[in-house]
């Protein structure tokens, strides 16, 4: 019985903070000034996703330069084919694609 408990504890320790889901596609950015779909506003590190629950934290990695940021989902979109996420202007700047406008990314949900 002790081996099972120790094994389970080790397994849980390895999975905390691990990505639960991931997508690869294009990201764009936006600086919407009104209310988001969640009732909030676009923040420094927020993003829009079509289906993830509001409040979900995701790691967005620019596949061109390997820069990553963590953003919180608080809006819906993007509604353009091939795009998997819209990030805030500050997040796009940190990811290094604000001038380009669109970049290939990997999006990974983070678990608590």
pLDDT reported for residue 95? 97
Helix (H) or strand (E) holding 94: helix 89-95
Query: Distance between CA atoms of 3 and 63, rounded to whole angstroms?
Result: 41
| Half-sphere exposure (Cβ direction) of 7: Cα atoms closer than 13 Å | 4
User: Domain residues for 76?
Assistant: 19-110
pLDDT in tens, 22-77: 999 999 998 878 889 999 888 899 999 999 999 999 999 999 999 999 999 999 99
Considering the domain boundaries, does residue 4 fall inside one? Answer: no
Q: What CATH number corresponds to the domain at position 55?
A: 2.40.40.10
pLDDT in tens, 70-106: 999 999 999 999 999 999 999 999 999 999 999 999 9
Considering the domain boundaries, does residue 48 fall inside one? Answer: yes
Report field, pTM of the whole predicted structure over 0.85: no
Q: Look at the chain and report how many structural domains it folds into.
A: 1
Considering the domain boundaries, does residue 32 fall inside one? Answer: yes
Query: Distance between CA atoms of 14 and 21, rounded to whole angstroms?
Result: 16
Considering the domain boundaries, does residue 98 fall inside one? Answer: yes
- Judged on CB neighbours under 10 Å (0-12, 13-18, 19+), 98 is middle
Considering the domain boundaries, does residue 14 fall inside one? Answer: no
> Does pLDDT of 1 surpass 80?
no
| Half-sphere exposure (Cβ direction) of 94: Cα atoms closer than 13 Å | 15
């Amino acid at each position: 019985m002790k081996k099972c408990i120790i094994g389970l504890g080790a397994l849980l320790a390895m999975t905390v903070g691990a990505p639960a889901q991931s997508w690869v596609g294009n990201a764009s950015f936006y600086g919407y000034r009104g209310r988001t779909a969640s009732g909030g506003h676009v923040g420094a590190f927020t993003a829009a996703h079509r289906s993830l629950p509001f409040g979900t934290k995701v790691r967005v990695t620019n596949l061109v330069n390997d820069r990553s940021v963590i953003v919180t989902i608080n809006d819906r979109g993007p509604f353009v084919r091939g795009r998997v996420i819209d990030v805030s202007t500050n997040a796009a700047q940190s990811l290094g694609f604000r001038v380009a406008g669109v970049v290939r990314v990997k999006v990974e949900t983070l678990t608590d």
